[in-house]
Amino acid sequence: MSSASLEIGSSLDACLAQAVAADGTLADVAKVIAACAAAAIAVSEVIGRGALAGDLAAQGEQNSDGDVQKFLDVLAHERFTEALRGAPVAEVASEEAEGVMLLNAGAPLAVAIDPLDGSSNIGVNMAVGTIFGIRPTASSPENPLGSFTGPGTLQLAAGFVTYGPATSFVLTLGDGTQIYTLDREQRSFRLTHPRIEVVAAAKEYAINASNARHWDTPVKAFIEDCLRGAEGPLDKDFNMRWLGSLVADAQRVLLRGGVFLYPGDNRKGYAQGRLRLLYEAAPIAMLMEQAGAGAIDGERRILDIGATGIHERVPLIFGSMDDVACVAKYYGGRNAAAGRSPLFGQRGLMRG
């Protein structure tokens, strides 16, 4: 929805109504987003009770990705899929379900969802989230995964919820990225950031540094150059963050820039990293691009990649455009300093 007309403080419902008035084809998408928002408020209220809500980290079965499901993973999965059952959604691809879930036969939309992102933060009062991407239904008996195998550019909308000190709803309908903040008294999301514009470059990177010995060469070289700071070829000192929750790191990048990396590495099962294309990388990539940032797998634009399975993993690097372009140079075999004349070396004569 065009932020030109969005008024700060407006409710999400009012903003969605405005978007639909401007473009009637968004009517069904708006209903799905409203359903996600309602589920997010309910989940936020459970999370906000912490240990008073019981042991939210209690362990259950393993999910399809081999992760042990926690009580809150399952609760979020149930709340969101129940809410989506009441919206024009035919299919759901959820992290917490092995295969595609069939909801309303003949409905026009399909939703890929990570009901609870950052599960390792459950039970220790750290930020967690929910991530979703909305696509047109395109499955058929011959191609049962058809709604989910196209590139991320087919997404009609994407969003994530951050259950942090505040609960925020980050959303794009393809015309900019907005942030809504939960008004707990009104039990509704209200517009606080009408159009996010990510700074072109910053001095912060996010990566799980404990995996350094497993990284591929381009990532090792990039992080080494970050660690060399202003004395190295990147000419600036960096700060590091790693929040253990993709949505929390993504929200920080949207608001103050920087670059996030979850690359492939040589641990067993991590050749394509840890994050899933359909319900983590592709929605985040749409939100980042709509905010003037970038999202790649090292070489390819995330939104150009089609999935072959609903839990397929992909290396994910996103953030400030210039910083992502810098990482891409390392993957392309040319590090940031590669094109520099000797005069612009580590302590070049011509340093600015």
* Region at 310 (left for phi over 0; alpha for psi -120 to 50; beta for the rest): alpha
Give me the residues paired with residue 313 across strands: 276
H or E element in which residue 256 lies: helix 246-256
Task: Report the residue number, 8 or 209, with the smaller CB distance to ligand AHG.
Answer: 209
Token pair for 152: 């991320």
Closest CB 322 distance from ligand AHG, rounded Å = 22
Task: Report the residue number, 116 or 243, with the smaller CB distance to Mn ion.
Answer: 116
Closest CB 114 distance from ligand AHG, rounded Å = 5
Pick the piece of the chain touching ligand AHG (CB under 6 A) from 118-126, 158-166, 231-239, 319-327: 118-126
Amino acid at 82: E
Pick the piece of the chain touching ligand AHG (CB under 6 A) from 13-21, 115-123, 154-162, 177-185: 115-123
Q: Rounded to an integer, what distance in angstroms lies between the CA atom of residue 275 and that of residue 297?
A: 11
Helices (H), 24-98: 27-47, 71-85
Pick the piece of the chain touching ligand AHG (CB under 6 A) from 37-45, 178-186, 225-233, 240-248: 240-248
Closest CB 249 distance from ligand AHG, rounded Å = 6
Task: Report the residue number, 50 or 269, with the smaller CB distance to ligand AHG.
Answer: 269
Q: What does 104 interact with, of ligand AHG, Mn ion, none (CB < 5 to 8 A by kind)?
A: none
Closest CB 297 distance from Mn ion, rounded Å = 17
245 touching ligand AHG, by CB under 6 A: yes
Q: What does 244 interact with, of Mn ion, ligand AHG, none (CB < 5 to 8 A by kind)?
A: ligand AHG
> Per-residue string for binding with Mn ion, 93-112, x by CB under 5 A?
--x-----------------
Closest CB 211 distance from ligand AHG, rounded Å = 7
59 touching ligand AHG, by CB under 6 A: no
* Tokens 């995330």 belong to residue: 302
Q: Which of residues 63-92 bind ligand AHG (CB under 6 A)?
A: 67
Task: Report the residue number, 31 or 77, with the smaller CB distance to ligand AHG.
Answer: 77
Residues that contact ligand AHG, how many (by CB under 6 A): 12
Query: Cβ contacts of residue 119 below 8 Å, gap of 6+?
Result: 67, 70, 72, 73, 128
- Radius of gyration, alpha carbons of the chain: 20
Query: Cβ contacts of residue 243 below 8 Å, gap of 6+?
Result: 118, 121, 126, 127, 206, 249, 252
Q: Rounded to an integer, what distance in angstroms lies between the CA atom of residue 114 and that of residue 77?
A: 8
User: 217 burial class (0-12, 13-18, 19+ CB within 10 angstroms)?
Assistant: exposed
Q: Residue 121's CB: how many other CB atoms inside 10 A?
A: 20
Closest CB 26 distance from ligand AHG, rounded Å = 28
Q: What does 320 interact with, of ligand AHG, Mn ion, none (CB < 5 to 8 A by kind)?
A: none
Are the C-beta atoms of residues 279 and 95 closer than 8 Å to each other?
A: yes
Tally of CA atoms within 13 A in the half-sphere of 171 that contains its CB = 29
By CB under 6 A, name the one of 119, 130, 147, 167 that touches ligand AHG.
119
Closest CB 313 distance from Mn ion, rounded Å = 11
Q: Which spans of this chain sit near Mn ion (rule: CB under 5 A)?
A: 95, 114, 116-117
Q: Which spans of this chain sit near ligand AHG (rule: CB under 6 A)?
A: 67, 95, 114, 117-120, 208, 244-246, 274
